[in-house]
């Protein structure tokens, strides 16, 4: 490990992001404006030199630093402290300008138009899912074709069973009765009103209706999908140059909005939404 790495407290081969973070953490402690110690200015200057060396290891930059170090040793402590402050302010202004350019690239241009469109789409699905909680469900006739004899661990329920129906296909249901599934193949699939999302299997046994809730499906994850769909809306109202905004922005662009489009295209949900659930 070189002396510069020891000064910053980073390992050899550390990335520039790690070096920058280590520098900022130590600069908050050693900066002469914050540290009244007489040696703070010299220690901060050494820290700055180590940071410059690791961020720009070229030979020309090395020669410049060596010349600057020789000049610094000839100056008084007050001059060295002033020089350290000036270099720190210059560095911070450069970093702020860089961050501002990146932030502006996020909230302007085609990417921001994409986020705005995705936000509107997510809010439409959010409202549709919310109303699906309130509106009455409807039933569709189906027939049980196959089912697993054994049960497995589900997402929402401790025990779920895989079944296969003639119209819907494969599904995971909880609280199912093995003997009744074996003896009575007729059933209904209960679906939400607008998006036709399956919520329960209604199994008719001797005139009685047994309700088997779906698991590992959109409805069983509620209210998590509603919370996720609200993230892009958060971006529109919270436009700040912060790490929270950047994280939500990236999650919306590359995960939430594409998943919302896939969700809308699957099982003809876009058609159900356009016809308000009548088709």
Q: Which domains does the chain have, with CATH numbers?
A: 3-96 (1.10.287.110), 106-130+224-274 (no CATH), 136-221 (no CATH)
* Strand runs labelled E in the chain: 138-147, 160-165, 170-174, 186-191, 198-205, 208-215
SS3 for 237?
helix
**80-89, 123-132, 209-218: segment of lowest average pLDDT:** 80-89
* Joined tokens for residue 264: 């809308």
Residue 67 has pLDDT above 60, yes or no: no
pLDDT of residue 60: 45
**58-62, 70-74, 174-178: segment of lowest average pLDDT:** 58-62
H or E stretch including 156?
none
The DSSP code for 278 is -
SS3 for 203?
strand
Q: Name the pTM for this structure.
A: 0.65
CA distances from 181 to 158, 189, 209 (A): 19, 14, 12
CB-based contacts of 35-39 (< 8 A; 24+ apart in sequence): 38/77
How many alpha carbons lie under 13 Å from residue 141 in its C-beta half-sphere? 1
* 139: β partners: 190
* Joined tokens for residue 42: 């010299």
Cα 214 from Cα 180, distance rounded (Å)? 17
Cα 175 from Cα 181, distance rounded (Å)? 11
List pLDDT tens digits, range 117-159.
999 999 999 999 999 988 999 999 998 888 888 888 888 888 8
Q: What integer best gives the mean pLDDT of the chain?
A: 83
Cis peptide before 223 (omega within 30 of 0): yes
By the 8 A CB rule, do 213 and 151 touch? no
List pLDDT tens digits, range 165-178.
998 888 899 988 88
């Amino acid at each position: 490990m070189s002396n510069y790495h020891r000064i910053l407290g980073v390992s050899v081969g550390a990335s520039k992001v790690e070096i920058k973070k280590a520098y900022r953490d130590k600069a908050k402690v050693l900066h002469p404006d914050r540290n009244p110690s007489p040696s703070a200015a010299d220690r901060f200057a050494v820290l700055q030199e180590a940071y410059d060396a690791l961020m720009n290891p070229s030979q020309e930059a090395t020669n410049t630093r060596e010349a600057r170090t020789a000049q610094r040793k000839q100056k008084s402590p007050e001059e060295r402290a002033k020089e350290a402050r000036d270099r720190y302010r210059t560095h911070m202004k450069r970093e702020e300008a860089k961050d501002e350019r990146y932030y502006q690239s996020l909230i302007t241009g085609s990417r921001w138009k994409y986020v705005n469109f995705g936000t509107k789409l997510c809010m439409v699905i959010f409202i549709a899912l919310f109303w699906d909680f309130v509106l009455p469900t409807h039933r569709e006739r189906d027939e049980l074709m196959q089912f697993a004899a054994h049960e497995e661990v589900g997402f929402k329920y401790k025990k779920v069973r895989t079944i296969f129906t003639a119209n819907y296909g494969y599904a995971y249901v909880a609280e199912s009765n093995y003997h009744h599934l074996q003896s009575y193949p007729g059933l209904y699939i209960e679906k939400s009103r607008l998006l036709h999302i399956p919520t329960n299997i209604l199994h008719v046994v001797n005139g009685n209706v047994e309700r088997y809730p779906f698991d590992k499906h959109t409805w069983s994850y509620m209210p998590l999908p509603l919370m996720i769909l609200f993230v892009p809306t958060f971006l529109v109202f919270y436009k700040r140059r912060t790490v929270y905004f950047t994280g939500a922005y990236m999650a919306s662009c590359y995960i939430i909005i594409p998943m919302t489009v896939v969700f809308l295209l699957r099982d003809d949900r876009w058609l159900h939404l356009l016809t308000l659930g009548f088709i």
